Amino acid sequence: MNYHANEKGYYGEFGGSFVPEMLYPNMEELQENYLEIMADPDFKKEFQGLLKDYVGRPSPLYLAERLSDKYKAKIYLKREDLNHTGAHKINNTIGQILVAKRLGKKRIIAETGAGQHGVATATVCALAGLDCTVYMGEIDIARQAPNVARMKMLGARVVPATSGSKTLKDATNEAIRAWINNPVDTHYIIGSVVGFHPYPDMVARFQSVISEEMKWQLKEHEGTENPNYVIACVGGGSNAAGAFYHYLDDENVKLVAVEAAGKGVNSGESAATSILGKIGIIHGSKTILMQTADGQIVEPYSISAGLDYPGVGPQHAHLFQTRRAEFLNATDDEAMEAGLELSKLEGIIPAIETAHALAVLSKISFKPDDIVVINLSGRGDKDLNTYIKYFNLA
Ligand SMILES: *Cc1c(COP(=O)(O)O)cnc(C)c1O
């Protein structure tokens, strides 16, 4: 079984590029150049140099002893929360800004939901001296004020998306529309392994540094490169794609993808795409997405803004369909409790997205010598207000 994209960007039946004709020149320019650019030794040197000196990589692989005691397995945390800007998203934006520069682009556009990808994009635009516009749903702008302020400080323009539900999906539509109107000098930095070919593959390759490091770090700690389990939360799926990447072909490593169940899978307020979704096309890619019988996209819900996307990337749809990855889910309540538990047991406050991955520890029966790696995708500073309200901490 092949779990990687073929040359047309298909993972089994999922993926591809379903875009309006007006976008063909941009899409083809990227498709024809991304692999060559990424393989260029100068590019690699610059990318790796920035990951080391600007992002702070390698991120530590930390044996969480008190968490391990509690769940009766050897649990490691891959500390993406310690990256500059507080999550894994910067790995991808650094990579894409370097691609944009090599393609001679002068302007960058991006979409953002909670604002994390917008901040990571505004950051690398400041670094590279490129003009930056971030599209963000009007509702998200209102509820994510600190990230809007960060983007502005970093020199980005934040443009409200006022159509539809005024959230992430609408911001993505708006960014694609802006690209169609401004194709020549502009690059669109997508924030997850979603969208048309080559985005899912390109973003997964940039995030694959996560599992590349996990291999040598586990070798140092345990004398083996392979854990028994890799667990990661899935919104669009980029942190999971990076954590799974170098283990996809090693079927002894169990891959666990965790979706947000919101108020419960059958509550009507959920983002558990693999269970609730059907095959369809969103943002240029064939995948699994939440939709009504006549193909209208269903609004997802999760307490964590980073997980409420109505689809998953096409690679994840393929991993789900082939059962290469096991798809579990966690409710808002389960995630919040898991976030508090990690804070108390290990002194690490995780992002609420990440807390969903932690919440499945109690749902898997481990053997005592199982080695488990959880991808700690981000830190919880941005979520403090949600934690405060939920646990009455004020
Ligand atoms: C954005 C985000 C996610 C979800 O995005 P993926 O593409 O699924 O990784 C998860 N965790 C954190 C901390 C995020 O900021």
Check which CATH number belongs to the domain holding 161 and give it.
3.40.50.1100
Q: Does a cis peptide bond (omega within 30 degrees of 0) precede residue 183? A: no
Q: Which residues pair with 286 in a beta bridge?
A: 15, 281
pTM above 0.85, yes or no: yes
Ligand 1 atom nearest residue 192's Cα:
7
| Among 111, 174, 341, 346, the one annotated catalytic | 111
Specify the pLDDT at position 305. Answer: 86
Active site residue 377: yes
- 5 occurs within a structural domain: no
- 119 occurs within a structural domain: yes
Residue 144 gets which letter from DSSP? T
Angle at 167 between CA 164 and CA 171, to 5 degrees: 85
Distance (Å) from CA 92 to ligand 1 centroid: 12
Are 152 and 247 in the same domain?
Answer: no
Specify the pLDDT at position 173. Answer: 92
Are 360 and 304 in the same domain?
Answer: yes
Specify the pLDDT at position 253. Answer: 98
- Sheet order of strands, 325-331 included: 61-63, 74-79, 371-376, 229-233, 254-262, 325-331
Q: Give me the number of domains the chain comprises.
A: 2
Specify the pLDDT at position 183. Answer: 77
Specify the pLDDT at position 289. Answer: 96
Low-confidence ranges of the chain (pLDDT < 50): none
Are 93 and 227 in the same domain?
Answer: no
174-194 burial string, b = 16+ CB within 10 Å, else e?
A: bbbebbeeebeebbbbbbbbb
Single residue among 153, 171, 203 that ends a domain in this structure: 203
Q: Is the dihedral of CA 270, 271, 276, 282 positive or negative?
A: positive
Q: Residue 388 has which token pair?
A: 């405060």
Are 191 and 215 in the same domain?
Answer: no
Are 70 and 167 in the same domain?
Answer: no
Give the Å distances, CA to CA, from 288 to 176, 273, 297, 312.
Answer: 20, 7, 11, 6
Distance (Å) from CA 68 to ligand 1 centroid: 24
Do 180 and 173 form a contact (C-beta atoms < 8 A)? no
- 280 occurs within a structural domain: yes
Single residue among 155, 183, 203 that ends a domain in this structure: 203
| Beta strand residue intervals within 69-166, DSSP E | 74-79, 107-112, 131-137, 157-161
Give residue-wise pLDDT tens across range 326-356.
999 999 999 999 999 999 999 999 999 999 9
Nearest Cα residue to atom 5 of ligand 1 = 235
Task: Give the number of C-alpha atoms closer than 13 A to the C-alpha of residue 23, restricted to the C-beta side.
Answer: 20
Are 249 and 267 in the same domain?
Answer: yes
Q: Residue 170 has which token pair?
A: 């609408």
- 6 occurs within a structural domain: no
Are 196 and 138 in the same domain?
Answer: yes
- 104 occurs within a structural domain: yes
Are 155 and 18 in the same domain?
Answer: yes
Domain membership of residue 269 as a residue range: 56-86+208-391
Give residue-wise pLDDT tens across range 73-91.
999 999 999 999 999 999 9
- Residue 49 exposed, middle or buried by CB count within 10 Å (0-12, 13-18, 19+): exposed
Q: Residue 56 has which token pair?
A: 């702070």
Question: What is d(CA 268, CA 233) in angstroms, rounded to the nearest whole number?
Answer: 20
- 40 occurs within a structural domain: yes
Are 309 and 241 in the same domain?
Answer: yes
Give residue-wise pLDDT tens across range 197-232.
999 999 999 999 999 999 999 999 999 999 999 999
Are 46 and 158 in the same domain?
Answer: yes
Single residue among 203, 220, 250 that ends a domain in this structure: 203
Distance (Å) from CA 353 to ligand 1 centroid: 6
Are 267 and 174 in the same domain?
Answer: no
Which of 79, 116, 208 is the pocket-test mutation for ligand 1 (most atoms within 8 Å of CB)? Answer: 116
